[in-house]
Amino acid sequence: MTPGKTASVVLTQQALTLDEVVDVARHGAPVQIEHGARVGIRAARHAVETLGAGDTPIYGVSTGFGALASTRISADQREDLQKALVRSHAAGSGPEVEREVVRALMLLRLHTFVTGHTGVTETTVDAYAALLNAGITPVVREYGSLGCSGDLAPLATCALAATGEGEVRDATGALMPAAQALAAAGITPVTLVAKEGLALINGTDGMLGMLCLALIDLARLAKIADISAAMSVEALLGTDRVFAADIQALRPHPGQADSAANLRALLAGSQIMQSHRGEDCSVVQDAYSLRCAPQVAGAFRDTASYARQVAERELASAIDNPAVLSDQRIESNGNFHGAPVGYVLDFLAIAVADLASISERRTDRMLDPARSHGLPAFLAGNPGVDSGLMIAQYTQAALVSELKRLAAPASVDSIPSSAMQEDHVSMGWSAARKLRKGIDALQRVLAIEVLTSTRALELRQPLLPSPASTAVLSALRETVAGIGPDRWLTPEIEAAVAAVESGQILDAAQGAVGPLH
C-alpha cells in the first residue's frame, strides 16, 4: 500500500466507484459505514432470524450447501454449520495473492453487506471494516475459485481470518496467525450465526476487484502506448498526416479519435517530423505498425470502456445467495455467476496482447537498418562490436508470445463441481489472474519501446524531437544512460519499466502538452 492516503471511503447502499475501490485496495484508504445503511443491515438480519425460525427450508440458513442443499439443519447446529462452511471452503493452494487484490475483495464483500441484502449482523460488518482499517490482510492463495457460487476459497479465507483463524499479514507485511493480529489490533473475532458464513463467501468480489484495479492500470497504459507510438513514428521518420482529425472522423470510434488526438499533440513541434515533409520525401505510406497506431490503441480503449460499464454495473450490485429482498423475502438466485465479469476480463486480455504486439513491431523496425531509415543496426554505438538493443527486442518478443497464450479465454471453460449441483462455472477468477500477468507484460513491452525510441531520437540529432518526446527523453535519462558501448541491459530495462509504472513518463509527456485523452 502507498502510505499517506487518509481520505475515508464511506460505504452506503449506493454503488462504489472504481476510484474508491483503488483508494482502499491499493492506497490504504480507511472505510466508514454510513449510519443510514445500518438500518438496512438490521432489517435484513431481522428477516433472516424471523424466517429462519419457521418451518420453510431456507438455503444456507436451515439447510446444507451445494449438493447438500436438501439436508435440513436443526437450530442448535446452525452456528456450527456456518463455522464448518468457512473452514471447509478455505481450501486455497499455491502462491499468495497480492495484498491489493485481497483488500479489494474484502471491500467489495463489505459493500455488499452494507446494501442490506445479505442478512449479516452489524458485528460482522464492523469486523470487516476494522480489518481493512487495521491493514490486516488474510493470506489468500492463487487457486481455489471457479468463479461461480462466488470466489469461494478466497472469500472463505478472508472469512476465516475474521473469525480469528488462519494466517494473515499485518500492516507491516509480517506473517502471523489471525488471532494474534486481531488481538494486537483490538479486534474481537466474529462468531458467525445463521446464514453469515454463506454471505461471507458468496460473491464475485475477487474477479471484480481485479477488474477494477486493471481498468485503472489500463487507462494509464493506453496513454503510454500513444506516447511510445508517437516517439517511434518520429524516430522512424513517419508521417503524422494519417492522424489528422478529418481522416479519423471517417471511422468514428471514440477510442480511435482519442488516440489520434493524442498522437497529434505528442508529435506537434517536432523538427524531425518537419525535416521530411517536403516533396522530396519518397515514402508513400508508413508500415501498419505506425499508420494504424490509433486504430489499434483506439480499439483497446473502446474495449476497456465496455469493460468499465460492466464493472460499474457490478459495483452497483448486491450479490448473495440466497438474497434478502426489500420486502423481507429470502430467495435463492444465480446472481453469483461470474460470466459478465469473466467475459470482459478475457476480452481485455485480447486487447492487451494486441497492443503489446504492435508496440513490439515498431521496436523491431527501429532496430533493423533495412527499415529504420538511416539508424545504425540495433541502435548500437559500434555495430558489430556492440549488439546495442538487439536482445531487448528478444525480451519484448518473449513477452508478446506469453501474452498471446494469456489471451486464450478462461471463461469458455467449465468444470462441474459439488456433485454436479454446480454444473456450469465461469472461471472468472482465472481470467482475472491471467489479465494481471498480461498487464505487467504489456507495461514491460511499452517500456522497452520507450527505451528504444529515446535512443533512436538521440541518433537523429541535431534535429530535435517534439517537446513531448524531449520531456520523456529527459525523464528517462535520469536513470538510463544514452547511446554508448554495450553494457548490462537488465537494470536499464527495469528502470524504464519503473518510469512507466510510477507515472514518470506520463507526467513528463503531459507536462509538455497538457492532459492526454
Asked if residue 303 has pLDDT above 60, the reply is yes
| The pLDDT value given to residue 5 | 53
Longest distance between any two alpha carbons in the chain, whole Å: 90
Band (pLDDT 50/70/90 cuts) for residue 69 is: low
Residues 279-292: tens digit of each pLDDT:
666 676 999 999 99
Residues 425-463: tens digit of each pLDDT:
889 999 999 999 999 999 999 999 999 999 999 999 999
Alpha helices in 275-389 (DSSP H): 288-291, 293-315, 339-367
- Set out the domains of the chain in order of their start, with CATH numbers: 9-203 (1.10.275.10), 211-275+285-513 (1.20.200.10)
Residues 217-238: tens digit of each pLDDT:
999 999 999 999 999 999 999 9
Residue with more model confidence, 68 or 33: 33
Residue with more model confidence, 4 or 490: 490
Band (pLDDT 50/70/90 cuts) for residue 1 is: very low
| The pLDDT value given to residue 284 | 62
CA distance 447 to 228: 8
Give mean pLDDT, residues 146-169: 94
Alpha helices in 419-477 (DSSP H): 428-458, 467-476
Asked if residue 332 has pLDDT above 90, the reply is no
Query: So which residues are the catalytic ones?
Result: 59
| The pLDDT value given to residue 282 | 61
Q: Which of 262, 240, 257 is nearest to 506 (CA)?
A: 262
CA distance 378 to 389: 5
Q: Give 372's strand partners.
A: none
Length of the chain: 517
Strand 175-177 and strand 141-143: pairing?
A: unpaired
Say what the pTM is: 0.95
The whole-chain average pLDDT of the chain stands at 94
Asked if residue 78 has pLDDT above 90, the reply is no
Q: What are phi and psi of 486, to 5 degrees?
A: -55, 145
User: Would you list the DSSP string of 120-152?
Assistant: --HHHHHHHHHHHHHT-EE--EEE---SSSSSH
Residues 238-283: tens digit of each pLDDT:
999 999 999 999 999 999 999 999 999 999 999 999 998 866 666 7
CA distance 198 to 109: 12
- In the chain, the percentage of residues whose pLDDT exceeds 70 is 96
CA 492 to chain centre: 25
Asked if residue 61 has pLDDT above 80, the reply is no
